[in-house]
Amino acid sequence: MEQNTNNNPTTLSGIQNGVRNGAEYIASLQDGRSVWIDGERIDDVTTDPRFCGAVQSIADLYDIQCNPANEEKMTFISPTSGKRVGRSFMLPRNADDLRLRREMMKTWMDAVGGMMGRTPDFLNVMVSAHASAYELFSVGGEQFGENILNYYEYIRDNDLALTHSLVSPDIDKRLPMYEQPGDMVMRVVRETDEGIYVSGARSVATLGPLANEVLIMPAAAKFPLVEDAEDFAVGFACPLDIPGLKMICRPSFPTKGGFANDPLSSRMDEMDAVLWFEEAFIPWERVFIYRDIKAVQSVIKSPSGPHGSHQSGTRSLAKMEFLLGIAYNLVEINHSRFPNVMVQLSELVAFVETLRALIRVSEVDCIKGPGDTVVPYEQPLNVIRAQYPAMHARALEILQFLGAGNVVVAPSVEDLNSENGTEIKRYCAGADIPAERKMQMLRLAWDASCSSFAGRQNLYEKFFSGDPWRNAQMRGERYPGAREAQDRVWAFLDRNAEWDEKINGK
């Protein structure tokens, strides 16, 4: 196993530190990775203006984790290295562990206002869940179970940031993934004693250019159970700087003036990329599923889904609280506490409190997982996944109603400091605060509800955990409470029919 080389050797409690700080994270991205955007290859994502704001936001999270005052909240002791490692890697043994893990994740999510979906805790939680269920991987051969377990320990003890890609691009939706034209879907192209070679595309990898490694897993839920698909039945992880891997990014969000003008676009663009593999080499020890449909079907049973939803539910709560905070501030700066405005705020309150309750129920009602772990109760988290896109869209609409013309005329810092500044400061002043302060809030409200950043957030909430219609179909098909509810209805009919017979003789 590679050694952690972080510069923070001890923590307050005197235990060796195994977590990275922000500077170490930033340095880890300066590895010659092949990142493409706007038709050009980027030399260094940590300095390029289209990426560096988000890099700094993730670096800040690592610094929060390293702060000695946060030691107990953000870390736990690695059972293998004996060092303090990130708490999102913890394998929860009871409901209280889930609470502790959520409090750690909430700390990170509050720092970014819930505006980044793929902060490293997301995949830390998912890979930990896979490792807890390593035997499911062993269906394809014992070594694959060992590989996922070793990989989990490796990323935990080296505090790496991961992205993942679970879907392939498709050209013709009438055809299954393995028959898509153009040989462009990622697949295994050959193997050697040392490892495998893969070629083709995977999408979408959010955070790709800002992560250390990528986890590739088959799109299990709709994976066709046919032999022809075996080249596509592959799961592995690799660093993002390996030869033969390039990341092709969407355009970044337009921001000329940095944080003051575009507080979210400039700092929270976690970026989405397509991964293009060209004969990329993956050593055997990083392969978790290999040309094996049965293994794919086995790994579907891993509890990574509910654990991942525990993280994304926590993020949803942090984000809704952040949006609620903006909304109340918009009302306060204008003194617009009118009844219709309060009704809209009460909708946001209902969203926040519903999310909080659902997350808590998932922890308190956790179920037994693999080994001696627990898994959050999935149903309340499924409700978040189902309902959050609509809650989020409505929250943005409420911000638009509250912000109205104010957000659209909110000037830039350059305007405020220009020769028109005196006039602007007069007509943009808040009821109790100067124009400069009010403008900060209005620019934030604009970026959260109206900008292209906000549009992408809305899209993300709809699709980040897969096709919402297929997910809803599965939730309907598999709801475990259905049988009991149905039987109760039959019992009600039978009981009252008996009574009817006794009283009325029919």
User: How many CA atoms, within 13 angstroms, populate the side-chain half-sphere of residue 162?
Assistant: 26
464 binds ligand FAD (CB under 6 A): yes
Which CB atom, from 412 or from 465, has the smaller least distance to ligand FAD? 465
Element (H, E) at 17: none
Least Cα distance to 87 among 354, 286, 272, 314 occurs for 314
Q: What are the backbone angles phi and psi of residue 67, rounded to the nearest 5°?
A: -60, 120
CB of 166 to ligand FAD, least distance (A): 4
Which CB atom, from 469 or from 490, has the smaller least distance to ligand FAD? 469
Burial class (CB in 10 A: 0-12, 13-18, 19+), 21: buried
466 binds ligand FAD (CB under 6 A): yes
Which CB atom, from 204 or from 381, has the smaller least distance to ligand FAD? 204
Residue pair 99/363 in contact (Cβ under 8 Å)? The answer is yes
164 binds ligand FAD (CB under 6 A): yes
Look up residue 353 and give its two tokens: 């409190």
CB of 391 to ligand FAD, least distance (A): 17
467 binds ligand FAD (CB under 6 A): yes
**How many residues of this chain bind ligand FAD (CB under 6 A)?**
19
> Which DSSP letter does residue 69 get?
G
State the Cα–Cα distance between residues 230 and 250, nearest whole angstrom. 30
* Token pair 């808040």 in the structure block, residue: 430
Which CB atom, from 223 or from 377, has the smaller least distance to ligand FAD? 223
Q: What residue numbers does the annotated binding site cover?
A: 164-166, 206, 467-470
State the Cα–Cα distance between residues 491 and 497, nearest whole angstrom. 10
Which CB atom, from 145 or from 208, has the smaller least distance to ligand FAD? 208
167 binds ligand FAD (CB under 6 A): yes
CB of 247 to ligand FAD, least distance (A): 12
Which CB atom, from 346 or from 473, has the smaller least distance to ligand FAD? 473
State the Cα–Cα distance between residues 342 and 328, nearest whole angstrom. 9
State the Cα–Cα distance between residues 385 and 87, nearest whole angstrom. 23
272 binds ligand FAD (CB under 6 A): yes
469 binds ligand FAD (CB under 6 A): yes
453 binds ligand FAD (CB under 6 A): no
Which CB atom, from 159 or from 272, has the smaller least distance to ligand FAD? 272
Element (H, E) at 248: strand 245-249
459 binds ligand FAD (CB under 6 A): yes
Near ligand FAD by CB under 6 A, which window of 91-99, 237-245, 348-356, 456-464?
456-464
SS (H, E, C) 263-331: CCCCCCCCCEEEEEEEEEEEEHHHEEEECCHHHHHHHCCCCHHHHHHHHHHHHHHHHHHHHHHHHHHHH
205 binds ligand FAD (CB under 6 A): yes
20 binds ligand FAD (CB under 6 A): no
Strand ranges across the sheet with 187-191: 40-42, 34-37, 245-249, 272-283, 195-206, 187-191
Which CB atom, from 166 or from 444, has the smaller least distance to ligand FAD? 166
357 binds ligand FAD (CB under 6 A): no
Q: What are the backbone angles phi and psi of residue 34, rounded to the nearest 5°?
A: -95, 95
CB of 467 to ligand FAD, least distance (A): 4
Q: What residue numbers does the annotated binding site for FAD cover?
A: 164-166, 206, 467-470
Give the one residue of 87, 118, 130, 319 binding ligand FAD; rule: CB under 6 A. 118
In order, the DSSP letters of 79-136 are TTT-SEEEGGG----SHHHHHHHHHHHHHHHHHTTT--S--HHHHHHHHHHHHHTHHH
Give the one residue of 128, 158, 165, 449 binding ligand FAD; rule: CB under 6 A. 165
304 binds ligand FAD (CB under 6 A): no
Q: What are the backbone angles phi and psi of residue 325, rounded to the nearest 5°?
A: -60, -40
Which CB atom, from 123 or from 330, has the smaller least distance to ligand FAD? 123
CB of 180 to ligand FAD, least distance (A): 12
Which residues inside 226-255 make contact with ligand FAD, applying CB under 6 A? none
Near ligand FAD by CB under 6 A, which window of 12-20, 295-303, 335-343, 464-472?
464-472
CB of 118 to ligand FAD, least distance (A): 6
State the Cα–Cα distance between residues 381 and 265, nearest whole angstrom. 28
460 binds ligand FAD (CB under 6 A): yes
Which CB atom, from 275 or from 287, has the smaller least distance to ligand FAD? 275
Residue pair 164/214 in contact (Cβ under 8 Å)? The answer is yes
Least Cα distance to 91 among 14, 156, 160, 136 occurs for 156
CB of 400 to ligand FAD, least distance (A): 21
171 binds ligand FAD (CB under 6 A): no
Binding residues vs ligand FAD (CB under 6 A): 118, 163-167, 173, 204-206, 272, 456, 459-460, 463-464, 466-467, 469
